[in-house]
Structure 1
Amino acid sequence: MSDNKPFNLLTAGHNGCAGCCDALAAKYVLMAVGSDCIVVNPTGCLEVMTTPFPRTAWNVPWIHSLFENGGAVASGIEAALIAQGRKGNTKIIAMGGDGSTMDIGIGALSGAFERNHDLTYVCIDNEAYMNTGVQRSSGTPFGASTSTSPAGKKSYGNNTNKKDMPAIMVGHGSPYVATTSIGYANDMMKKVKKAADTVGACYIHAHAPCPTGWGFDSSKTIEMAKLAVDCCLWPLYEIENGEITSVKKVKDPKPVEEYLKAQSRFKHLYKMEGGDKEIEKIQQLADKNIAKYGLDK
């Protein structure tokens, strides 16, 4: 998108699952920023499946950080380039999953944004710790079943709502925060490029449906991503200097049941007594998004 390189900056031949959301997200990010970048990648699916020793799928400078310190490593790279007089137009891009971003690595990320390093952080949110067995994260939605929030006889699955990570990053004074989805490639690339071209610590939160962890056919990844937007469980918006500047409108929002029924992680809600009440609660979350962001106006 930025420099029209004749080869993919994330190559084929990685070990991602069929329909892998992480591979799509990383590809879009690199298409947006071009080859003059350094990528920091905390532990997770993207790191594991793109770098099986001694091979790599990355055609840009890339470094693996620990689960907990992606923000710190990205900060250090920016500081080192400045000290060496080599910063120029090189973009510092960190890409981590919801676990490394919203849970384990939130401390280092908070520090990077408090100091306002010139970097872009992209959270690829597949809503659980997929790499280690589909355990619950603070990105796991209400009602979903995971390996650590099982839907047994006395459980309706995850009993907490998703952490509002974009709002947390706005609270750090970030000049640019946006939500996007791998279902909307052009939207994602546009927002990533805008973030990378903005001076300061910018944050992109990308919704990324995982066929393996969510339980849907691997050919439906993009369809599932768009369905989350269409039922208003995943609003797309931009926030610049603390103010909402754009929102993707949704004409005739679909009921959340269309989204839930398409995934095995919510199937228990259709089998258990009282599951219909839990589905109503999920619909209320979508309705709240509609009202908050004026999605249907």
Structure 2
Amino acid sequence: MAEIPEEEYILKTTSACAGCSASLILRYVTKAAGPDTVLVVPACCTSVIQGIYPDTAMNIPVYNVAFASAAAVASGMSEAFRAEGKETNVICFAGDGGTVDIGIQALSGALERGTDFLYICYDNEAYSNTGMQRSGATPLGARTTTTPVGKTEFKKDLDAIIAAHNPVYMATACSAYPEDLYKKIKKALSIPGPKFMHVLAPCPPGWRYPSDKTIDMGKLAVKSGMWLLYERENGKLSITGASKAAMVKRIPVLDYIKVQGRFKTATEEDIQALQKSVDLGIEKLKKEAEGIC
């Protein structure tokens, strides 16, 4: 990864949990964005990771805002910078709870207005900061503190919702593939207008796996097809990175979920439903990438 700069904007004093992939994602996001960047962070794990001012781990400006308002704040901030002729990167860095559920109205509005910003949802598939409650991004069959015997609904298709807004650029990424993540952030920030990235962020305490297995967990997600890497630029979809191989041959979904304690109560029906959903989702993306639909 020689092209990734050595400069660090997330210092070694974070309050993150051991094995936290959200802080790893943020590290590469800020390396790609550089020092002329402002982060807008709603209530989420990052609000804790950054530490308490003045002993913050962030080496760039951060605005902590209300749960539902991140994209709205970023929209006004971007307009103010552009009015002054500044090209400062305005980046929302929000969890799935603040994106898929609580913040989706502000995000929709900012995308519809054509705000020049980058919105990043780091997705650990639960409200991890407040005790691992179920979110709209929690997968079918996963245990949380509010779904103790497993969630009975599928994960909300956030990417389909975002795609309906026709942003100039949107992409998925995973903390286990930092080079892919870095390149997509660089690309997104080079394009004026509204951009969105959805990044899988495995969470050791929430997903219930050993903290030294975070990278392995991300790779299993991609290799099983439970998480797909792609980008959509001006409506054109391209499969990227390790997901190209997963389109052809992938490991069973069971290999991914059996190493996570959160799926301990998942039923055979849940597992079959997840596998079917993955297979159908991959076929749909393949057809779109090939221009069939």
**If the length of structure 2 is used for normalisation, what is the TM-score?**
0.92
1:189 alignment partner, one of 175, 182, 191: 182
AA matched with 1:262: V
Q: Distance in 2 between matches of 1:112 and 1:92?
A: 12
Kept after mapping to 1: 8 A contact 2:141/2:265: no
Structure 1 Cα separation of the partners of residues 107 and 69 of structure 2: 7
Alignment check: 8 A CA contact 1:2 1:34 kept: no
Alpha-carbon contact 2:4-2:182 (below 8 Å) kept = no
**Residue aligning to 2:286:** 294
Residues 3, 35 of structure 1: 8 Å contact kept: no
Residues 137, 41 of structure 1: CA spacing in aligned structure 2 closer, same or farther, 3 A cutoff? same
Q: Aligned partners of 1:6, 1:287: CA distance in 2, in Å?
A: 39
Cα deviation for residue 189 of structure 1 reads: 0.8
Secondary structure in structure 2 of the residue aligned to 1:294:
helix
Q: How many residues align?
A: 284
What residue identity is the alignment partner of 1:35? P
- Secondary structure, aligned partner of 2:232: strand
Q: Aligned Cα RMSD in Å?
A: 1.9
Shift, 1:5, TM fit: 6.4
What's the TM-score, normalizing by structure 1?
A: 0.91
2:257 and 2:283 mapped to 1: Cα distance? 21
Aligned residue runs from structure 1 range 212-251, under 5 A? 212-247=205-240, 248-249=243-244, 250=246, 251=248
Residue in structure 2 matching 1:114, options 112, 115, 135: 112
Q: 1:96 aligns with which of 94, 108, 112?
A: 94
User: How big is the shift at 1:90?
Assistant: 1.5
Is the Cα contact below 8 Å between 1:78 and 1:118 reproduced in 2?
yes
The residue aligned with 2:153 is 160
Between 185-194 and 46-55, the greater mean CA deviation after superposition = 46-55
User: Which letter does structure 2 place at the counterpart of 1:284?
Assistant: K
Which letter does structure 2 place at the counterpart of 1:168?
I
Per-residue Cα deviation, 1:228-279 (whole angstroms, up to 9, x for no partner)? 000001111111122213343125200011111110000112xxxxx21221
Per the alignment, residue 13 of structure 2 pairs with: 13
The one-letter code sitting in structure 1 at the alignment partner of 2:281 is N
The CA distance in 2 between the partners of 1:5 and 1:191, in whole Å, is 15
1:3-82 → structure 2 map (5 Å cutoff): 7-82=7-82
Measured in 2, the distance between the counterparts of 1:82 and 1:96 equals 23
User: Would you identify which runs of 4 or more consecutive aligned residues in structure 1 move more than 4 Å?
Assistant: 1-6
Find the residue that maps to 1:286 and give its secondary structure: helix
- Matched residue of 2:265: which SS? helix
Moved more, 257-266 or 163-172: 163-172
Identical positions, percent: 43
Q: CA deviation at 1:15?
A: 0.7
Task: State the SS of the aligned residue for 1:68.
Answer: coil
Which runs of 5 or more structure 1 residues have no equivalent in the other structure? Answer: 152-156, 270-274
**Aligned residue number for residue 144 of structure 1:** 142
